[in-house]
Amino acid sequence: MVDRKLTGAHYGLGSWLLQRLSAVIMAIYTFAMILFLFCIPHDYFAWQTFFAQTWVRLFTQVTFLAVAIHVWVGIRDLWMDYIKCACLRLTLHTCTAIWLIACLIYSVKVIWGM
């Protein structure tokens, strides 16, 4: 019998899809930013105007959320695969989740200026 202590169940396909979808979002954002790097004048005012647009802020925030999801799936799987002590694994999961939530809250402050 398999011991499923603090590992959860049925993460496989859902985690795989989340990681692939978040990777696609990050790739599209990276490609778009490289494209805009060559299309927008290289001065502070032009970039400030570009990043002040709502669609750019929204795209940036969605990408940051995708990064957080990508990190969560990867680190969660790493903790589950290599940390055998259930207490330590739960502590690491909790610390990782708190850190990612704090990063997401801070990203809202930075991107939206709140």
pLDDT for residue 1:
52
Task: Say what the pLDDT of residue 15 is.
Answer: 86
Is the pLDDT reported for residue 3 higher than 70?
A: no
pLDDT at position 71, please? 96
- Tell me the Cα Rg of the chain: 18
Check pLDDT > 60 for residue 36: yes
pTM of full prediction above 0.85: no
Which residues make Cβ contacts (< 8 Å) with residue 36, sequence separation at least 6?
50
Q: What is the pLDDT of residue 5?
A: 56
**For the chain, what are the domain ranges?**
12-112
Average pLDDT over residues 85-93: 94
* CATH architecture group of domain 12-112: Up-down Bundle (1.20)
